[in-house]
A and B are shown apart, each in its own frame.
Chain A
Amino acid sequence: MPEIYPVGMADIRIAKAPDVLAVYGVGSCVIVAMYDPKTTIGGLAHVILPDSTGIAPERLNPKKFADTAVPLLYQTLSHAGVYKSSLWAKVIGGAEMFPPTEDFSLNIGKKNTEAVHDALRKLGVPVLAEDTGGTVGRSLEMRLDSGKIALTVLGESVREL
């Protein structure tokens, strides 16, 4: 029986077929999925903020920020023995849940998404699929046997990514 492992905010987790990695209720956070179809090893990074600049190194949790979490996921997968050249990525989340008012806007979602793309570009990992932005929350389950992601939005039927 495949196990389902949830990946919480500011966490990184890798697994191998036939297991499943999942995140439920993603808003402005961005989920980076990386997968190597040859070894069927993959992982998720649950990024909550775009940029770690200015955080003291001893206080820095690298799993939190796009610029540190994406390389860390890549490194963790490398140590687990994936073929780096066959790795691809999928990017999900980065919504703006609360509409802006005259007093404020929370536009972390967009910044997170851009920062994740920058980090992936630097590593040379191609983005195979993406579902980001908008104003809706998302849930996802990634099957490590195929790398396919089942994406759920409230009020819609499950989509495959």
Chain B
Amino acid sequence: MDDVLNLTKRQLDALRELGNIGSGNAATALAQFLNRKIDMDVPSAKILPLAEVSGLVGGPEQQVLGIFLKVMGQLSGRFILLVPTSTAIKLLQALMPGFEINFSNGKFGEMETSCMREVGNILAGSFLNALSVLTRVPMLNSLPSMAIDMAGALLDSVISDMAAVSDHVLMIETAFVESQENLRIHIFLLPDPASLDRLLEILGVK
């Protein structure tokens, strides 16, 4: 696959289905550890022009918390989870009842940071687990890295070296919604251009 622009509708459908299976499993995990009902947006497999990436979550300057993990193994890629900081605070309140959340100067305390990284770890782990079962290719996630900053700034540093050849990036995107407090968690999976062919082959749509 020279350029993600050449992906056919059938291939994109298969990738979206992959997103569906992964995020279904991740949503179940999230519902279990939050002990709340979680709905899931219908996943999409999008081919986005570079210029549009920075505006994906509420505009390029929106302050968000990002958790970034690498997908390692025969099929490699990147996994990024973005939530507005207000949502992160509510998530932490639900996860650590009675604990006073420390968020000042755009930074969380150590406990909060560790907890949010674990959220990323669990979501990515359960997502990839479902994909590993489906594709019979083991996929592991790296340790999560976390940052709070402008959405555009977090996204550009994750995608830029995936766009050396193409002017577009392929993103499998979904969002989890907790309806009680309307918390939205955005998840993006970006297959490495180098392992895309292999992935399509495994999905039977090469």
Q: Interface on A for B, CB 8 Å cutoff?
A: 8-11, 24-29, 48-49, 55, 59, 61, 64, 95-104, 106, 108-109, 135-139, 152, 154-155
Query: Lowest 6 CB-CB distances: which A-B pairs, in order?
Result: A25-B152, A137-B153, A8-B51, A25-B60, A27-B153, A103-B142
CB of B40 within 8 Å of the partner chain = no
Which of chain B's residues have a CB closer than 8 A to the CB of A106?
157-158, 161
Instruction: Name the contact of B54 in the complex, choosing from A9, A98, A103, A155 (C-beta under 8 A).
Output: A9
CB of B119 within 8 Å of the partner chain = no
Instruction: Name the contact of B155 in the complex, choosing from A27, A101, A154, A155 (C-beta under 8 A).
Output: A27
Q: Could you jot down 23 A-B contacts, CB within 8 Å? A: A8-B51, A9-B53, A9-B163, A10-B50, A10-B51, A24-B59, A24-B152, A25-B152, A25-B156, A26-B152, A26-B156, A27-B149, A28-B156, A55-B165, A59-B2, A64-B163, A95-B157, A99-B146, A106-B158, A136-B153, A137-B149, A137-B153, A139-B150
Which of chain B's residues have a CB closer than 8 A to the CB of A104?
70, 142, 145
Indicate if the CB atoms of B143 and A98 lie closer than 8 Å: no
Which of chain A's residues have a CB closer than 8 A to the CB of B197?
none
Which of chain B's residues have a CB closer than 8 A to the CB of A139?
60-61, 150
Q: For chain B residues 34-68, which have a beta carbon within 8 Å of chain A?
A: 50-54, 59-61, 63, 66, 68
Which residue in chain A gives the minimum CB-CB distance to B2?
A59
Indicate if the CB atoms of B157 and A28 lie closer than 8 Å: yes
Instruction: Name the contact of B154 in the complex, choosing from A61, A98, A101, A109 (C-beta under 8 A).
Output: A98
Which residue in chain B gives the minimum CB-CB distance to A103?
B142
CB of B147 within 8 Å of the partner chain = yes
Indicate if the CB atoms of B150 and A137 lie closer than 8 Å: yes
Which of chain B's residues have a CB closer than 8 A to the CB of A108?
157, 160-161
Which of chain B's residues have a CB closer than 8 A to the CB of A61?
167
Which of chain B's residues have a CB closer than 8 A to the CB of A103?
70, 72, 142-143
Q: Interface on B for A, CB 8 Å cutoff?
A: 2-3, 50-54, 59-61, 63, 66, 68, 70, 72, 105-106, 142-147, 149-158, 160-161, 163-165, 167
A45 nearest CB across to chain B (Å): 14
Which of chain A's residues have a CB closer than 8 A to the CB of B61?
24-25, 139, 152, 154
Which residue in chain A gives the minimum CB-CB distance to B62?
A25
Indicate if the CB atoms of B2 and A154 lie closer than 8 Å: no
Cα separation A55 to B166 with both chains bound (whole Å): 11
Given contacts A8-B51, A24-B152, 10 further A-B pairs with CB under 8 A are: A8-B54, A10-B163, A27-B153, A27-B154, A99-B146, A103-B143, A137-B152, A137-B154, A139-B61, A154-B63
